[in-house]
Amino acid sequence: MAAKRMDLPQGTLDLLILKTLSLGSQHGWAISGRLQQISTGVVQVQQGSLYPSLHRLERRGWIKAEWAPSDNNRNAKYYELTRAGRKQLEADTASWRTLSRTIGAILDIA
């Protein structure tokens, strides 16, 4: 927990979850661990936002869920990216890149 913790901008959690799942199916706890790990602790996802987000994505059909035994032999709910979810990830990634580039450019000039 070296770096300062940051609040995620609205809507970006969905994108990060999709990205995390693009590497393979995961359960909720693992997703939150993974996010924390990759971001070296900058991104801290609370249960209170993670699970509603997962359920929302599932409803939209971008991810699908399946119960499967986990590494400690207990059943866990694994989430997996759907084809629609993959498309959404690409589109969202592209628009995020554009947005951040644009904002970066404006910040550099101004």
The residue (of 49 and 98) whose beta carbon lies closer to other proteins is 49
- Does residue 75 interact with other proteins by CB under 8 A? yes
Name the nearest CA neighbour of 79 among 95, 100, 55.
55
Question: How far is Cα 48 from Cα 52, in angstroms, rounded to an integer?
Answer: 7
Question: To 10 degrees, what angle do helices 12-21 and 47-60 make?
Answer: 70
The only residue of 3, 12, 55, 97 in contact with other proteins, by rule CB under 8 A = 55
- Does residue 48 interact with other proteins by CB under 8 A? yes
Residue 93 CB, shortest distance to other proteins, in Å, is 22
* Amino acid in position 79: Y
- CA angle centred on 26, ends 63 and 28, rounded to 5°: 85
The only residue of 15, 39, 41, 51 in contact with other proteins, by rule CB under 8 A = 51
Residues that bind other proteins (CB under 8 A): 27-29, 32-33, 46-48, 51-53, 55-56, 58-61, 67, 70, 72, 74-77, 84
